Homo-oligomer: A and B are copies of this chain.
Amino acid sequence: MMRKSDPANPTLVEVFRGTLVESRHAGAIAVADADGGLLFAFGDVERPVFPRSAVKAMQAMPLVESGAADAFGLGDDELAVACASHSGELAHVEAVRSLLAKAGLDESYLACGAHWPISEEASRELIRVGRHPQAIHNNCSGKHAGMLAACIHLDFDPRGYARPEHPLQSLIARLISETCGIALDQSRMGIDGCSVPTWAAPLRALARGFARLGTGKGLTGERARAAKRLVAACFASPVMVAGEGRFDTLVMSKLAPSVFVKGGAEGVHCAALPGLGLGVAVKVDDGAKRGAERALAETIAALLPQGRSALADQLAGEIVNWRGTRVGRIAASRELQRALGSLAALDRGDCGVVTGA
């Protein structure tokens, strides 16, 4: 069977060295409201993409909605780390251990596999004391601990909790489907780096899901409260959601409660802007984090009056070499700048879609 190639997406971000564009990142951006109204579409926002870790807050919703979070007395740090791609810093490891302990479990239950902490300092500390990384250092260990705690409270067998056929994963799939307002296609399920299912969805649906996550609009009362509690926990503890110096932590440290952001592997990055009632979803076709972060920062800056000054560091995009010499910069493409300019100028009452490129 001949598979047709997807048409090329427009360039979101360009990487300059000197005056020449050395590399470029193509992709797509969707901005939508909780009803699925599309405010902005740049590139193909209907093509299904794996959201990966960007939807961890949705994967954590059963933990709260089921009553597990209340029953176990979970605090902001434990809820935020359940939504996190954390750096494996000491504080992250402690929050995950605490979450597990409150559910009566320990780290031997984690099915995420081990990798070196994202935090270089945390990795060096492990090396200095002669230890190897464990599952708890995996950036997804908080999500897994949250899934385990939900299983305990829901009386699901914690064994095999990561498998697609486990009742918890079925529950999560249903919840993502309802939050994003789409049917999930079994043939478009992949297995994530940490071994749980990841369900492909169009950026348009992910943007709507984030609008609902941020506002509760379009969700049942119980689910809306769960979403708000998880987002509030991330706003209270941005360092738990990623780590020192990382994009999601920096953006929420500066812009909470106006912006909730969460990145995923392979160039996916999503945001909720509760005050505007909007969600944003970005996918860089080649999977580059630098492209996705830059495109999302530009989109937030276009949507939010205080965004451009708050994200000045993220938008500067300076590239320095090993000796600290400025050799280039990362910038939004002219096409994207132009399209976002129209978005920024849009009268909020006017729901006409800005379609870029």
Let me know if A50 and B20 touch, CB within 8 A.
yes
Let me know if A23 and B266 touch, CB within 8 A.
yes
Beyond A8-B8, A24-B285, A138-B322, 9 extra complex contacts between A and B, CB < 8 Å: A2-B334, A5-B333, A5-B335, A19-B187, A20-B188, A20-B200, A195-B322, A285-B286, A286-B288
Shortest CB-to-CB span from A143 to chain B, Å, is 13
Question: By DSSP majority rule, is chain A's interface helix, strand, loop, or mixed?
Answer: loop
Count identical subunits in the complex.
Answer: 2
Is residue A291 within 8 Å, beta carbon to beta carbon, of the partner chain? Answer: yes
Let me know if B288 and A287 touch, CB within 8 A.
yes
Shortest CB-to-CB span from A4 to chain B, Å, is 10
Interface centre among A2, A5, A112, A113 (most CB of B within 10 A): A5
Alpha-carbon gap, A48 to B189, bound state (A): 40
Q: A125-145 vs B: 1/0 string, CB under 8 Å?
A: 001101000000010000000
By a beta-carbon cutoff of 8 Å, the part of chain A in contact with chain B is 2-3, 5-6, 8, 11, 15, 17-26, 48-50, 111-115, 124, 127-128, 130, 138, 187-195, 198, 200, 266-267, 284-288, 291, 321-325, 327-328, 333-335
Chain B residues closer than 8 Å to A127, beta-carbon distance: 124, 127-128
Let me know if B113 and A323 touch, CB within 8 A.
yes
Q: Chain B: which residue is nearest A319 at the CB level?
A: B193
Residue from the list B26, B189, B327 in contact with A190, Cβ < 8 A: B327
Alpha-carbon gap, A333 to B3, bound state (A): 10
Closest 3 CB pairs of A and B: A113-B322, A23-B287, A17-B190
Chain B residues closer than 8 Å to A115, beta-carbon distance: 322
Shortest CB-to-CB span from A160 to chain B, Å, is 13
Let me know if A327 and B191 touch, CB within 8 A.
yes
Residue from the list B17, B24, B113, B325 in contact with A321, Cβ < 8 A: B113
26 A/B residue pairs, CB under 8 Å, sorted by A: A2-B334, A5-B335, A6-B21, A6-B24, A8-B8, A17-B50, A17-B266, A20-B50, A20-B200, A22-B266, A23-B266, A23-B286, A25-B286, A26-B286, A113-B321, A127-B127, A127-B128, A128-B128, A190-B327, A193-B322, A193-B327, A194-B321, A285-B286, A286-B288, A287-B288, A288-B288
Chain B residues closer than 8 Å to A113, beta-carbon distance: 321-324
Let me know if B322 and A23 touch, CB within 8 A.
no
Chain B residues closer than 8 Å to A50, beta-carbon distance: 17, 20, 22
Chain B residues closer than 8 Å to A15, beta-carbon distance: 266, 287
Alpha-carbon gap, A48 to B19, bound state (A): 12
Instruction: With A11-B5, A334-B5 as known contacts, state yes or no: A191 contacts B325, CB within 8 Å.
Output: yes
Alpha-carbon gap, A48 to B22, bound state (A): 9
Alpha-carbon gap, A221 to B120, bound state (A): 50
Let me know if B287 and A22 touch, CB within 8 A.
yes
Instruction: With A24-B286, A286-B24, A333-B5 as known contacts, state yes or no: A322 contacts B190, CB within 8 Å.
Output: no
